[in-house]
Structure 1
Amino acid sequence: MIKRILFFLAFILQFASLQAGIVVLNGLTHMYKVENGQIYKGKVSLQNTGNAPQNVKIFLQDFSYKADGTTYYTAPHTNEKSNTGWIKLNTNLVSLNAKETTDVYYEITVPDKDLQSGSYWSVIIVEPVEDIKPSNNTPGVNITSIVRYAIQVITNYDTENVKPALKFESVKVEKAGKQQSVKIGITNNGNVYCKPTANIEIYNRRTGEKVGTFSSLQMGLLPSTSKSFDIDISKILPDKYNAVIIATDEDENAFALNVELEVKND
């Protein structure tokens, strides 16, 4: 009986995935260099990859995140660096037929007044609307799986001479299966969006010999947010080491930290 139920649920999920699937075609980060009083235009390109029509809501929210993996979506204007008041969407609801593609347009109107130099941002949320409503009169199981997209709209105002201020908030070694990694929490205390990479140079503590240099992926980091930059060090043998961690952004601004590492067997 349990096997039949599991098979039935799997069939429903597979069937639902064939019906509709909304994807964003032109990226999840839209960035603009802006000036006072100017208007900028953009669009979000959507496609319904499924075989059934799909309604989609589009709306604005503020957005932030932390290195522990927590993400915050909040009401417009809750972030002091929010640009939600600058953005006007041409619609809040679209209907896409099967395999159809459409564009949602927006305008960014930058206030004609003095602003603090730096990055301002928000996200455009794209959320499919579930049309099937549960009914107590209908036997069976209704399962809804909705994938929401958050498209960052970042506006950089007078940032030519603004530097990021990166701070290391945590460094720890973690092991998952056969993979061992250094997780480096980095906070952006500056006023401008940047895209840092974390590098670690590891040295034998007894001899001072360099064991290796390893790097994380490059990731975007908004002001007053933090992320965990993970570096695979599975090739390093268990021992105690000295290390230098260097965070470097796309403009070669660098921030360094000396640490001691212990790589364990388990």
Structure 2
Amino acid sequence: MIKRILLLITLILQFSFLHAGIVILNGLTHSYTVENGKVYKGKIAIENTGSQPQSIKLFLQDFSYTADGTTHYTALHSHKRSNGDWIKFNTNLVTLKGREKTEVFYEIAIPDHVKDPGSYWSVVIVEPVEDIKPSDNKPGVNITSVIRYAIQIITNYDTEKAKPDLKFESVKVEKEDGKRTARIAIANNGNLYCKPTASLEVYNRTTGAKVGTFSSLTMGLLPSTSKTFYIDISKVPPAQYKATIIATDEDENAFALNVELEVKND
């Protein structure tokens, strides 16, 4: 009986997901190399994957994050590199029929007086608007899950005079679900957005022989933010090692740190 009830709940949940939801079709990071006084155009492509009409609102916020997994969405002007005032939409509200697609267009008007080189950014929040309907249900708590998207709009100004400055904040080795992972927290103390990859070169502590090189996924890193880069080192036997951490961005800027690495037998 319990198995049948669980199966019924699963089918109901799967069926409900088929009838609601929006997706962004052209990426969650839009990046531009810009000049003073010029206007740049872009668009956000949206699809209603459900069968029912869906209203969607768009608005701007500032955005930052730290390596502990915390993400901050705040009002515009919360940091000095916000570009939210530069961005204007052709509409802030759209309604899509079931299975319908649309495009919301925006313009980025760069001021004439930008002086500091580097990256400026904000995010466009794309959020479904739920209709409020009267209910005869008994009093209680109704929980509605709303999936919203944050689309980064990054403008890079005078990039020849700007650069990332990557710093290693911490290195930890942890085991979870049978997989051993090196967790490397990296901060961008520079003034330019970059997309680094972290790699770990592991050496035998006694002989100096190279055990292997292991790499993370590539992730974007805004100025004054930090992220944790995850590297699978399950193939490294438990022991103490010497290691070199290298963070390399898409322009081949490299930042390195020598560390003592302990892989425990747990």
Q: What TM-score, normalized by structure 2, do the two folds share?
A: 0.94
Q: In the aligned structure 2, how far is the partner of 1:240 from the partner of 1:211? A: 12
2:58 equivalent to 1:58? yes
Unaligned runs of 5+ in 2: none
Unaligned runs of 5+ in 1: none
2:106 equivalent to 1:106? yes
Q: Which amino acid aligns with 1:138?
A: N
Q: In the aligned structure 2, how far is the partner of 1:134 from the partner of 1:63? A: 35
CA RMSD across the alignment: 2.0
Q: Once the two structures are superposed, what CA deviation does each residue of 1:29-64 show, in whole Å capped at 9, x if it has no partner? A: 001111111111111000011111101111000000
Q: In the aligned structure 2, how far is the partner of 1:16 from the partner of 1:66? A: 34
Q: 1:200 to 1:19 in 2, by over 3 A?
A: same
Q: In the aligned structure 1, how far is the partner of 2:108 from the partner of 2:122? A: 12
Contact 2:118–2:161 (Cα < 8 Å) also in 1: no
Q: In the aligned structure 2, how far is the partner of 1:2 from the partner of 1:212? A: 49
Q: In the aligned structure 2, how far is the partner of 1:171 from the partner of 1:178? A: 19
Q: Which amino acid aligns with 2:69?
A: G
| Mapping for residues 161-172 of structure 1, pairs under 5 Å | 161-172=161-172
Match of 2:94 in 1: 94
Match of 2:27 in 1: 27
Q: In the aligned structure 2, how far is the partner of 1:141 from the partner of 1:241? A: 54
| Mapping for residues 32-181 of structure 1, pairs under 5 Å | 32-133=32-133, 135=135, 137-139=136-138, 142-181=142-181
Query: Which moved further from structure 2: 175-184 or 138-147?
Result: 138-147
Structure 1 residue 265: Cα displacement: 1.6
Query: Which moved further from structure 2: 89-98 or 143-152?
Result: 143-152
Q: Which amino acid aligns with 1:146?
A: V
Q: In the aligned structure 2, how far is the partner of 1:142 from the partner of 1:107? A: 39
Structure 1 residue 94: Cα displacement: 0.6
The alignment covers a number of residue pairs equal to 265
Q: Which amino acid aligns with 1:196?
A: P
Contact 2:33–2:155 (Cα < 8 Å) also in 1: yes
Match of 2:216 in 1: 216
Q: Which amino acid aligns with 2:86?
A: W
Q: 1:57 to 1:202 in 2, by over 3 A?
A: same
SS in 2 for 1:160: helix
**% same residue:** 69
Structure 1 residue 142: Cα displacement: 4.9
Match of 2:196 in 1: 196
| Mapping for residues 233-244 of structure 1, pairs under 5 Å | 233-244=233-244
Structure 1 residue 20: Cα displacement: 1.8
Q: In the aligned structure 2, how far is the partner of 1:113 from the partner of 1:80? A: 14
SS in 2 for 1:85: helix
SS in 2 for 1:13: helix
Contact 2:22–2:49 (Cα < 8 Å) also in 1: yes
Contact 1:13–1:143 (Cα < 8 Å) also in 2: no
Q: In the aligned structure 1, how far is the partner of 2:20 from the partner of 2:241? A: 52
Q: In the aligned structure 1, how far is the partner of 2:159 from the partner of 2:43? A: 24
Query: Which moved further from structure 2: 73-82 or 138-147?
Result: 138-147
SS in 1 for 2:131: coil
Q: Which amino acid aligns with 1:218?
A: T
Q: Which amino acid aligns with 1:161?
A: K
Q: 1:188 to 1:74 in 2, by over 3 A?
A: same
Structure 1 residue 236: Cα displacement: 0.5
Q: 1:225 to 1:212 in 2, by over 3 A?
A: same
Q: 1:70 to 1:122 in 2, by over 3 A?
A: same
SS in 1 for 2:161: coil
Q: 1:247 to 1:104 in 2, by over 3 A?
A: same
Q: 1:134 to 1:8 in 2, by over 3 A?
A: farther
Q: In the aligned structure 1, how far is the partner of 2:134 from the partner of 2:244? A: 56
